[in-house]
Chain A
Amino acid sequence: MTSLSGVRLYTWQRLSAAVMAPLVVLHLGTILYAVNAGLSAAEILARTQGSVFWGAIYSVFVLAAAIHAAIGLRAILVEWARLRPVSAGWVSAGFALVLLVLGLRAVGAVVLS
């Protein structure tokens, strides 16, 4: 890893964290509110279906989480699993892609379905 890519990863990690922090607070608040009455598919969809607000919030959340988790995973693969930085980078990029696809599909499922 060059120092430049290290700085880039560090910056993206912190930027994605700063974006996610208020979204995590909102998500935790929603969890505590929503589980009170018991969760069902109908209850979740009643809250989210057709909502531009939830669609936008959770799309940004998914994007930031995919970036943040992949960079964190890369660090763990290099430092704990002793993978070469290039290999760890590819595995992490693949993981980011999986999170992005599954996450946006999930957002679509609860907002657009």
Chain B
Amino acid sequence: MSASRQKLLWIAALIHRVSGLVLAIFLPLHFLVLGLALSQASRLDGFLRWSDMPVVKVAEMGLVILLTVHLLGGLRLLVLENAGWSARQGAWALAAGGVSVIAGFAFLFQVL
């Protein structure tokens, strides 16, 4: 394996780990907000109105990118581990990054 591909896959592994960590930190907050629907729907609406701010939408876009890149990076690992090494791992990792950014912008266009 070439040094550049090795570096690319190291970066892919780092992105997978960091995206997983950020999503894990986000999850309890996400659940707490949804839990507001249980007894305080007006507070949930207040939060949803707050989340209409452009800066929050950009942050949400970031979360969509992180969720997509973690999904695709994980699928790449599952295929790698169960179907054996593929010479195109670097290309798959790059494609995962590209599709994730597209998903993020698709979200942004939906909310604009």
Contact assessment for A69 and B36 in the assembled complex, using a CB-CB cutoff below 8 Å: no
Q: Mark B27-58, 1 if CB is under 8 A from A, else 0.
A: 11011101111110110110010011000000
Contact assessment for A40 and B45 in the assembled complex, using a CB-CB cutoff below 8 Å: yes
A interface residues, how many (CB within 8 angstroms): 36
Contact assessment for B35 and A102 in the assembled complex, using a CB-CB cutoff below 8 Å: yes
Known contacts A99-B31, A105-B38, A109-B36: does B78 contact A14 (CB below 8 Å)? yes
Give the complex CA separation of A54 and B36 in angstroms: 18
Interface of A is mostly: helix
Binding site for A on B (CB under 8 A): 17, 20-21, 23-24, 27-28, 30-32, 34-39, 41-42, 44-45, 48, 51-52, 64, 67-68, 71, 74-75, 78, 81, 103, 106-107, 110-111
